[in-house]
Structure 1
Amino acid sequence: MSTDVVTKKIETRIPARLDRLPWSRFHWRVLIGLGTVWILDGLEVTIVGSVSARLSEQGSGIAITTGDIGVAAAFYVLGACLGALFFGQLTDRFGRKKLFIITLAVYIAATVATAFSFSPVYFFIARLATGAGIGGEYAAINSAIDELIPARLRGRVDLVINGTYWAGAAAGAGLAILLLDTSIFPADIGWRLAFAIGALLGLVILVVRRHVPESPRWLFIHGQEDEAERIVTGIEDDISARSGTKLPEPDSAITVRQRRTIPFRTIAHTAFTRYPKRTALGLALFVGQAFVYNGITFNLGTLFSDFYGVGSGMVPLFIVCYALGNFLGPVLLGRLFDTVGRRPMISTTYLGSAVLVVPLTWLFVTGTGGVWVFLGVLMATFFLASAGASSAYLTVSEIFPMETRALAIAFFYAIGTGAGGIVGPLLFGQLAASGDRGTVGLGFAIAAVVMAVGGVAELLFGIKAEQAPLEDIAKPLTAEDG
């Protein structure tokens, strides 16, 4: 029997029932249990950026050069790309919950291994494995979040959750200030503790995450409508009991022909034949944000220490400021993506950050204003860029059918991040190693161009998805079969 065989046809109101729910304790549980993965990723990336100067110093316990930091970043991103593709297709096949438990376990194990690094090669391999866990998380978590959050709130919630990456980044940089203080911890111990703390946080999240249910949307399409009904009814009963009011009746239903799995050839056909413009949009958004973020963030500690003379113990303080600017972007602008709309806001954040890179580059190349002026413009630039980058994940999660959602996220993350996220750290790492401000400025200029391309793509191909049910933005493949 074919694995994609149709089992039976059903009519369900579950999507409409989920979308008409008021914000509740259940949604907070989803927010905390799933959204915290970005804190882990921010912690990982920023810890490497914060401790990069210490790793390359004598006495660190690992003989890593400045150029090796860029290579390690590329390994992390490569692992994330491979992990996203591998775990993404498993997420669509076996469910959101199984995979967001497995991928978190992979991350925890790999982060513990990183803390015991003794050579560059070992460090590279450990970073590859850590990235694989995080990449798998992106596919499993983004798909689950968007399928559980009501349509009217999906944009702002998704952006805030993605923005918590920078809460993790700020926390990681703040911890690094303490852990890199050689009066408290030896030079070869502090940076190891930084990674160990990431693993400990992962264990706490794992406990919370066990109480987040499987996506009812995934369940009813894969022949488990009774379990989907049980989950949604439980959420509704809890909300009604706590509010003392009866929920309004759902206003629409959808008919689907259930399948055990959707073959990869169907997913590929959906992306490249049925939705070619949406595919081009997803690639442009992901390449732009991945190049800028992975390139600059992974090498930020080196830029502050080598070009502005900031001591390795103080570099994290500057990264905390940088991270706060990034965090505030999605938090303060997120609601506008639901009210003003996706297209105007995504294009504005991408093009606006590209424009701000111009004075940023001039300040860096000329050294005008010193490190604090450079930091101020950097924060303003990434205030916009962060909201735009978060919206890339929201976009590809919304604009493809439910059966392909996790793998679509994985595909665009892997291809976009592979093109921009691997090239970015390698390029910036090599440019920074040159020691020449003008040479590094070339990297900033390229970053501005790729972000601008993403903004133009949104103007041309953007989808009006604000406050719309996922099934209206992209009808499920099984519904069209029906």
Structure 2
Amino acid sequence: MSQAEIGTITTQVPARLDRLPWSRFHWRVVIGLGSVWVLDGLEVTMVGNVAARLTEDGSGLDISAAQIGVAGAVYIVGACLGALFFGQLTDRLGRKKLFLWTLVLYLVATVATAFSFSPWYFFLCRFLTGAGIGGEYAAINSAIDELIPAKVRGRVDLVINGTYWLGSAAGSALSLVLLSTVLFPTALGWRLAFGFGAVLGICVLIVRRHVPESPRWLFIHGREEEAERIVRGIEERIEGEQGADLPAAEGSLTIRQRTAIPFREIAAVAFRTYPKRAVLCLALFVGQAFLYNGITFNLGVLLSSFYGVGAALAPLFIIFWALSNFAGPVVLGRFFDSVGRKPMIAMAYLGSALVTLPLAGVFLSEIGGLAAFMVLLVITFFLASSGASAAYLTVSEIFPMETRALAIAFFYAVGTAVGGIAGPLLFGTLIETGERVPVAIGFLVAAAVMALGGLAELVFGVRAEGRNLEDLATPLTAEEADGPEGADGPREDA
């Protein structure tokens, strides 16, 4: 381990980044990196909308409805494994390399999907597409939080994560056009749908090339001169925009630089030093994955089976629902920085769980019909979407910088594997019964899982609003002048 140490430095890079005012640079970060969520929302919704077309005669792909379900599971498995694989590479090789590599993988796999000719090939493409998206989550969330100023980190992160639903709405709207047999042949429309995702990805890649490596990652890995050059360049551009000098940064950090940090050390610190935070993140991720994947993958079928909404009209309802999900982080996001993480995250999880109770009642009793059901569904997910976005924000803030990408990958993978698979399977089975009582019970189970996430936040939540990332979790490489806290980590309730 000692041979990996290359020196000790004292730096103000974190303090300088956190005291920056909002600028064009930050907009570039948001557009270049945050767009991954739009791509994921587009992908998931697109496959759900084109599923029926793929099973039709003349689609050019001889695939059954059951195999479409397998493709969905394969995508999730790819996302989980991709997050874990690329997550540990992100901590080792840097944020920028990985957020470029994973986007390229997504682009290649998406283009390849458009040329699918058999189920096995379609499954392979969906696996690789999922791997690219899963890797994006780890690389992107770690980079965003390390580049965005502390005072607005919460609202920016929530809105960025919430843009998944803009992609979902766009996917539904696009499906209405591309799946029209009046405009496009049966075998062509769905292929163009996947091609559109690739075109959007290329635009993102062009912007992303100009987003720098995380200076925080650079100075820890012995590249302090490059980190200094990047930060100074950002400061000079902002001073040029404002026509005034920036205020002096306050505070510094002393660290032992390392070219490599053993995986066993990262894992030990992430899950032995911070066990309460680990429990918190698992509860948040499993709760949101269960609710969201259970409803998202089955909403069209639910509307059709119990409210008689035809396949042609279902995307319209999904667009309305998706936009309400985006509105949650946009409207509530600023309160996560002002009121605070702990009360707002708990409110989002517990509030959505409470609204699910009358939602189940309206569904069971059929009072108010489709209108009442949709209104309560919108309110439920208006709250839940902020909580779901905050799950990613939480895990990216409360673990040491050297473990950040891997921690995001781990909790995303476990939460998606547990909640993201169990939710769709449960709701799918209950909807298939054709009876309202079992489906209403499914809503109640989802409410209970979300409530557990809210309770975990009340007990183990961390007050992270406005605080420097290095204060929330001391870097593994930090040398503290006042004792061993740097090695053992700060208190978990810090």
Q: Determine whether 1:87 maps to 2:82.
A: no
Change (3 A) 1:129 1:432: farther
What is the rounded CA distance, in whole Å, between the counterparts of 2:54 and 2:303 in structure 1? 15
Paired residue for 1:436?
Answer: 435
Alpha carbons of 1:112 and 1:441: their partners in 2 closer, same or farther (altered >3 Å)?
farther
Residues paired across the two proteins, number: 481
Partner SS for 1:256: strand
The offset of 1:3, in angstroms, is 8.7
* Inter-CA distance 58–358: structure 2 relative to 1 (3 Å threshold): farther
Aligned to 2:184, the other structure's residue is in SS state coil
- Please give the per-residue CA displacement for 1:355-394, whole angstroms capped at 9, x wherever unaligned: 1112222333343333332222111110000000000000
| CA deviation map 1:58-112 (0-9, x unaligned) | 5444454444443322221111110000000000000000000000111111112
C-alpha distance 434-52 of structure 1, shift in aligned 2 (>3 A):
farther
Paired letter, 1:45: V
Aligned 8 A contact 1:16 1:250 in 2 = yes
Does structure 1 residue 160 correspond to structure 2 residue 159? yes
The separation in 1 between residues aligned to 2:311 and 2:60, in whole angstroms, is 16
The offset of 1:449, in angstroms, is 1.3
User: What residue number does 1:319 align with?
Assistant: 318
C-alpha contact 1:181 1:313 (8 A) present in aligned 2: no
Distance change (3 Å), C-alpha of 1:35 and 1:9: same
Q: Which residue does the alignment assign to 1:294?
A: 293
User: Secondary structure, in 3 states, of the residue corresponding to 1:245?
Assistant: coil
Q: Which residue of 2 aligns with 1:139?
A: 138
Deviates more, 1:376-385 or 1:121-130: 121-130
- Unaligned 5+ runs, structure 2: 479-485, 489-494
Q: Could you say what the CA RMSD is over the residues aligned between the two structures, in angstroms?
A: 1.7
Shift of 1:447: 1.2
Residues 1:113 and 1:295: Cα distance change in structure 2 (over 3 Å) = farther
1:304 and 1:49 map into 2 onto residues whose CA distance is 14
Q: Distance in 2 between matches of 1:283 and 1:403?
A: 20
Quick check: 1:13 aligned with 2:12? yes
Aligned residue identity for 2:133: I
Residue in 2 that maps onto 1:448: 447
Evaluate the alpha carbon distance shift between residue 4 and residue 324 of structure 1 in structure 2; reply closer, same or farther with a 3 A threshold: farther
Query: How far apart, in 2, do the equivalents of 1:313 and 1:139 lie?
Result: 36
Equivalent position of 1:150 in the other structure: 149
CA distance in 2: counterparts of 1:304 and 1:103, whole angstroms: 35
**Unaligned stretches of 5+ residues in structure 1:** none
Q: What aligned pairs does 1:393-412 form with structure 2 within 5 A after superposition? A: 393-412=392-411
Q: Which moved more, 1:9-18 or 1:189-198?
A: 189-198
**Looking at both structures, which has the greater relative contact order when contacts are Cα pairs under 8 Å and sequence separation is at least 6?**
1
Match of 1:469 in 2: 468
Instruction: Name the stretch that deviates more: 143-152 or 351-360.
Output: 351-360
Distance in 2, Cα, partners of 1:288 & 1:79: 20
Aligned pair in 2 of structure 1 residues 309, 57: CA closer, same or farther (>3 Å)?
Answer: farther
Q: Is the 8 A contact 1:151 1:469 kept in 2?
A: yes
Q: Does the CA-based 8 Å contact 1:40-1:202 persist in structure 2?
A: yes
Aligned residue in 2 for 1:223 = 222
CA spacing shift, 1:264–1:212, aligned 2, 3 Å: same
Change (3 A) 1:365 1:120: farther
Give the deviation of 1:458 after TM superposition.
0.2
Separation in structure 1 between the aligned mates of residue 70 and residue 443 of structure 2, nearest angstrom: 19
- How has the CA–CA distance of structure 1 residues 42 and 481 changed in structure 2, closer, same or farther, with 3 Å as cutoff? same
2:282 maps to 283
Whether the 8 Å CA contact 1:153–1:338 is kept in 2: the answer is yes
Alignment of 1:258-407 (within 5 A): 258-407=257-406
Between the aligned partners of 1:140 and 1:132, the Cα distance in structure 2 is 12
Equivalent-residue separation in structure 2 for 1:448 and 1:103 (angstroms): 34
TM-score normalized by structure 1? Answer: 0.96
Instruction: Give the letter aligned to residue 159 of structure 1.
Output: L
Tell me how far apart the structure 2 counterparts of residues 56 and 370 of structure 1 sit (CA, whole Å).
Answer: 31
Distance 1:453 1:330, change over 3 A: same
Q: Within 1, Cα distance between the matches of 2:368 and 2:118?
A: 39
Partner of 1:104: 103
3-state DSSP class of the match of 2:186? Answer: coil
Give the SS at the match of 1:258.
strand
Sequence identity (%): 67
- Secondary structure in structure 1 of the residue aligned to 2:8: strand
| Alpha carbons of structure 1 residues 178 and 127: separation in structure 2 relative to 1, 3 Å | same
Equivalent position SS for 1:478:
coil
Q: Measure the CA separation in 1 of the matches of 2:140 and 2:284.
A: 19
> Judging changes above 3 Å, is the alpha-carbon distance between structure 1 residues 259 and 143 closer, same or farther for their aligned structure 2 residues?
same
Q: CA deviation at 1:311?
A: 2.1
Give the corresponding residue for 1:187: 186
Residue by residue over 1:6-37, the C-alpha shift from the partner in whole angstroms, topping out at 9 and shown as x without a partner, is 11000000000000000001001001000111
| Contact 1:34 1:209 survives alignment (8 Å) | yes
> What whole-Å deviation, never above 9, does each CA across 1:376-422 have from its counterpart, x for those lacking one?
21111100000000000000000000010000100110111111112
Task: Tell me the distance in 2 between the aligned counterparts of 1:374 and 1:192.
Answer: 34
Which is worse superposed, 440-449 or 176-185? 440-449
C-alpha distance in structure 1 between counterparts of 2:279 and 2:262, whole Å: 22
Q: In 1, Cα distance between the equivalents of 2:58 and 2:191?
A: 13
Shift of residue 223, structure 1, vs aligned partner: 0.3
Q: 1:403 to 1:259 in 2, by over 3 A?
A: same
Aligned partner letter, 2:103? L
Distance (Å, rounded) in 2 between the aligned partners of 1:23 and 1:108? 31
Q: Which residue pairs with 1:233 in the alignment? A: 232
Within 5 Å, give how 1:48-59 maps onto structure 2: 48-59=47-58
Is residue 270–residue 400 contact of structure 2 (8 Å, CA) maintained in 1? Answer: no
User: What aligned pairs does 1:417-436 form with structure 2 within 5 A after superposition?
Assistant: 417-436=416-435
Aligned partners of 1:53 and 1:302 also within 8 Å: no
Question: 1:256·1:478 contact (CA, 8 Å) conserved in 2?
Answer: yes
